Structure 1
Amino acid sequence: MERQISNSGMEQRKGRRLVLFPLPLQGHINPMLDLANILHSRGFSITIVHTSFNSPEPSNYPHFAFRFISENLPEDRRACCKTDLIAFLLTLNEECGPPFRDCLADLLSDSSEEPIACLISDAILYFTQDVAHELKVPRLVLRTGAASSFCVFSAFPLLREKGYLPIQDSQLEEPVVELPPLRVKDLPSIHTNDPEDLYKVVTSMVNQSKASSGMIWNTFQELEQAALETLHQQLGVPLFPIGPFHKRFAATSSPCSSLPHDETCLSWLDKQVPQSVVYVGFGSLAIISETQFLEIAWGLANSNQPFLWVVRPGLIRGSDWLESLPDGFLEALGGRGHIVKWAPQQQVLAHPSVGAFWTHNGWNSTLESICEGVPMICMPCFTDQRVNARYVSEVWGIGLQLEKGLERGEIERTIKRLMVKKGGENIRERVSCLKKKSYACLSRDGSSKQSLDDLVRHISSLESLTFHTY
């Protein structure tokens, strides 16, 4: 397993550059930067192209070159990132084309730099396929989500034809016969002013991935073999499952974050009993109502389990932070609860005191929980999180889903079922088994190590396809 970036790897540059372009959302930036570190360790020079919106700090990555483009998003469109994510993604794909083309053309014409072997861009930045084709640069796609959820995205035309989409409230509990074990309520959806926009983003992402030179996945064969085989048949391009990314190296820098980590949570965890703490974190984009916030608070309190809860500013609609909590709520718990604005999640999940992760089931969070052998309580909010949650609870059997919504009694029962009931032991055994597989796949003969070797060879084979006249 690769644990650090070796000096010999840095000295023996392949004489080829890779241009990486992440989607400017935290859950997408971090995996792309992890991938950049992985490929840099294999001898490639790295140039990161990034929008001015949500840009990472280049000084944290001195071994990469950075180029920033202006996406010309007005302030109201930037705000859409949280109020109408699909509208934001559509605008990003519409506005970034010209500045990205100019940037890539400039990089190609720079004779002082090493030649470019290929572009690697986020699957959701589907406009980059046309730019790459125009400039005769091979494009590889990074999909930061699960292979299982991408199978659902690729089935959108069929799901529409069969009447599952657009989703109707009367159908929510019906099974999706073509995609077991999913139910209609598990299909990816998100609030947007125009439901057709979601369909457009998804189908464009899938179609332009099919037109690419291959796809890179932050997953591993032993976890998603069936989905990867299905996608190989459907997409017709090489697939490279080389994850889990974050386990390949000792941390060389903190993950990109808009909020500073509150390190007090680690010292608080040090004082707790092993596998006793419920860690609660819903990612960087989820928004809940004040009523839901209070049900979560009382469900946690009534469970009698210690809990570490990440309540980021903006999580609760209409509130700045914790003003909705009843007076004296935390004090009455006698130190059993600890609330922070942001936490170093990978360190928290690796802490021996953590016994469960109540998560929104974003793919990064789901994969990090699997890698640390922590069972999950699933509360998906939108898009692929719903598919991930169903796979966690019913396919892999490594968590429980809050099927009946956020009600304090249901929350209390679910926590106790996972933490203290016998059924929780079985779940813990299954996730422990997957943890071992997540490490084994990165070993010398592991599936992800072999897939990374294949990826490096594939990139080298693409060099002969790269020709430019500048």
Structure 2
Amino acid sequence: MTTSHSQQLTTLPSRRSSRGLGVTVLHTDFNAPDPARHPAGLAFVPIHETLPGEATSPDSNILTKLLALNAACDAPFRHALASLLRARHRDDDVACAVVDGQCFAAMRAAGELGVPVLALRTDSAAAFRKMLAIPRLRDAGYIPIKGNKKEKLDEPVPEFEPLRVRDLIRVEGSDTDEICGFITSVADAVRATVSGVVLNTFEAVEASELSKLQSELSLPAFAVGPLHLLSSSSSSSQAPAAAEQSLHEPDRGCLPWLDGHPPRSVLYVSLGSLACVDRVLFDEMAWGLARSGVPFLWVVRPGSITGVGDDDAEAPPPLPEGFEEETRARGRIVKWAPQREVLAHQAIGPFWTHCGWNSTLESMCEGVPMLVQPCFGDQMVTARLSIITACA
């Protein structure tokens, strides 16, 4: 699972633990949570999975990663949960399992072991609804596949206006059958085993979508977000760096650098922890920043450019020749930033974002306007709806 998913799967148990419920967190060895960074009272149990290379390679697209993770974690998760059930006393039953909503194998396993399941979705209610509709829209001819004319990409999607065909969930490098197969596995697991869906969203922005989702699934949909605000409050006694977990170490030196700038003067640029662009688009971003004339803070993480080999996995991609000389006085480039603190800083003006749902929520909560550049998955849906909301 991604860092954002693992954070949210431990944020909810932290809140439940504070209300007197016993909580055990089953987690992968890869990107394992650090118990010291979470409130006392949570039990952490690794499932001891063995991940294939495509599950962790920066060259694998997100769909390949998710399919590999589901296959690799199926048996280990099932074994760990069965062992936990056997160790419980009769008066200490497992009330429910909160499972990452992309992990259809884990949802199935929990259901087959007789444990009620809540699926945690870390995308928006709107994006989840559109995702579930992909197979039906494919059959109706609305999904971009080989042979589709380009002009059809700008056609509105019936029942989902203002979305266009180009906004529907897709993954570069994956064909329509692969995407629909994954979505069908998720949908089948939700409908067959899940007692409710938990979403990192809130009624003020998605009341209509939540209502439609509940009706279409015949399941309750619980809006419990924004979860990053719950996480921040539960971590208030810890050091600021502990409130935000990441696969990359944040460069906190960017915060005093921001202190030296006037309010709302700095453009913050980050495409998140997974999104990648090709070399041509990366260079266009770089020269756009260089010629904008505004101060900027740009996150250029390792693996930001598609096609970079494993030998370069730990280093950020090289910048265009001459870029640093032209921008040295105005810009700062970091491998990773403490994003919540950056977005809350008074010096930040707009946020150039890939429109991942977590970044979108964090930006909304801080009142930061967004310049959107979606890359894959649910990001196109979020970007379109963000534009429509901003223009309303």
TM-score by length of 1: 0.75
Distance in 1 of aligned mates of 2:67 and 2:284: 35
Answering whether residue 70 of structure 2 is matched by residue 93 of structure 1, we say yes
Residue from 318, 340, 343 that aligns with 2:337: 343
CA RMSD between the two structures? 2.0
* SS in structure 2 of the partner of residue 120 of structure 1: strand
Matches within 5 A, 1:13-24: 24=1
Q: CA deviation at 1:232?
A: 1.0
Q: CA deviation at 1:306?
A: 1.0
AA aligned to 1:325 is P
AA aligned to 1:388 is T
Corresponding residue for residue 357 of structure 1 = 351
Residue from 145, 164, 169 that aligns with 1:183: 164
Residue from 90, 94, 111 that aligns with 1:116: 94
Residue from 225, 233, 243 that aligns with 2:207: 225
Distance in 2 of aligned mates of 1:326 and 1:25: 33
Corresponding residue for residue 61 of structure 2 = 84
Distance in 1 of aligned mates of 2:17 and 2:347: 35
Distance in 2 of aligned mates of 1:325 and 1:91: 35
Corresponding residue for residue 34 of structure 2 = 57
Q: CA deviation at 1:55?
A: 2.0
Alignment: residue pair count: 373
Q: Is the 8 A contact 2:99 2:119 kept in 1?
A: yes
AA aligned to 1:152 is K
Distance in 1 of aligned mates of 2:140 and 2:249: 46
Q: CA deviation at 1:397?
A: 1.2
Corresponding residue for residue 106 of structure 2 = 128
Q: Structure 1 stretch 133-142 or stretch 332-341: which is displaced more?
A: 332-341
* SS in structure 2 of the partner of residue 314 of structure 1: coil
Q: Is the 8 A contact 2:55 2:69 kept in 1?
A: no
Distance in 1 of aligned mates of 2:251 and 2:187: 38
Q: CA deviation at 1:263?
A: 0.7
* SS in structure 2 of the partner of residue 246 of structure 1: helix
Q: Structure 1 stretch 337-346 or stretch 99-108: which is displaced more?
A: 99-108
Answering whether residue 218 of structure 2 is matched by residue 236 of structure 1, we say yes
Q: CA deviation at 1:40?
A: 2.1
Corresponding residue for residue 325 of structure 1 = 320
Distance in 1 of aligned mates of 2:103 and 2:34: 21
Residue from 182, 185, 188 that aligns with 1:201: 182
Corresponding residue for residue 276 of structure 1 = 265
Distance in 1 of aligned mates of 2:204 and 2:143: 31
Distance in 2 of aligned mates of 1:207 and 1:130: 9
Corresponding residue for residue 366 of structure 1 = 360
Q: Is the 8 A contact 1:126 1:208 kept in 2?
A: yes
Corresponding residue for residue 32 of structure 1 = 9
Kindly tell me: are residues 265 and 87 of structure 1, through their superposed partners in 2, closer, same or farther at Cα, counting changes over 3 Å? same
Task: Deviation per CA, 1:154-192: give whole Å up to 9, x if none.
Answer: 212320121012443522222212210111110110024
Q: CA deviation at 1:45?
A: 2.1
AA aligned to 2:191 is K
Q: Is the 8 A contact 2:144 2:153 kept in 1?
A: no
Q: Is the 8 A contact 1:380 1:389 kept in 2?
A: yes
Task: Deviation per CA, 1:222-258: give whole Å up to 9, x if none.
Answer: 1001110110110111111011111124234332211
Corresponding residue for residue 302 of structure 1 = 291
Kindly tell me: are residues 76 and 233 of structure 1, through their superposed partners in 2, closer, same or farther at Cα, counting changes over 3 Å? closer
Distance in 2 of aligned mates of 1:77 and 1:268: 36
Q: Which runs of 5+ in 1 are unaligned?
A: 1-23, 399-429, 431-470
* SS in structure 2 of the partner of residue 48 of structure 1: strand
Q: CA deviation at 1:384?
A: 0.2
Q: Is the 8 A contact 1:85 1:192 kept in 2?
A: no
* SS in structure 2 of the partner of residue 267 of structure 1: helix
* SS in structure 2 of the partner of residue 382 of structure 1: coil
* SS in structure 1 of the partner of residue 49 of structure 2: coil
Kindly tell me: are residues 125 and 316 of structure 1, through their superposed partners in 2, closer, same or farther at Cα, counting changes over 3 Å? same
Kindly tell me: are residues 142 and 76 of structure 1, through their superposed partners in 2, closer, same or farther at Cα, counting changes over 3 Å? closer
Distance in 1 of aligned mates of 2:299 and 2:254: 10
Distance in 2 of aligned mates of 1:89 and 1:77: 7
Residue from 136, 139, 149 that aligns with 2:117: 139
AA aligned to 2:275 is A
Q: Is the 8 A contact 2:303 2:317 kept in 1?
A: no
Q: Is the 8 A contact 1:87 1:197 kept in 2?
A: no
Q: CA deviation at 1:98?
A: 1.8
Corresponding residue for residue 216 of structure 1 = 198
Q: Structure 1 stretch 37-46 or stretch 269-278: which is displaced more?
A: 37-46
Q: Which runs of 5+ in 2 are unaligned?
A: none
Q: Is the 8 A contact 1:216 1:239 kept in 2?
A: yes
Kindly tell me: are residues 387 and 286 of structure 1, through their superposed partners in 2, closer, same or farther at Cα, counting changes over 3 Å? same
Q: Structure 1 stretch 185-194 or stretch 109-118: which is displaced more?
A: 109-118
AA aligned to 1:231 is L
Q: Is the 8 A contact 2:121 2:199 kept in 1?
A: yes
AA aligned to 1:241 is A
Task: Give the % identical residues.
Answer: 42
Q: Is the 8 A contact 1:290 1:324 kept in 2?
A: no
Corresponding residue for residue 382 of structure 2 = 388
TM-score by length of 2: 0.89
Q: CA deviation at 1:149?
A: 0.4
Q: CA deviation at 1:94?
A: 2.5
AA aligned to 2:172 is H
Residue from 251, 265, 279 that aligns with 1:262: 251
Distance in 2 of aligned mates of 1:122 and 1:310: 27
Answering whether residue 135 of structure 2 is matched by residue 153 of structure 1, we say no
Corresponding residue for residue 397 of structure 1 = 390
Q: CA deviation at 1:287?
A: 1.5
Give structure 1 regions of 4+ aligned residues with deviation exceeding 4 angstroms. Answer: none
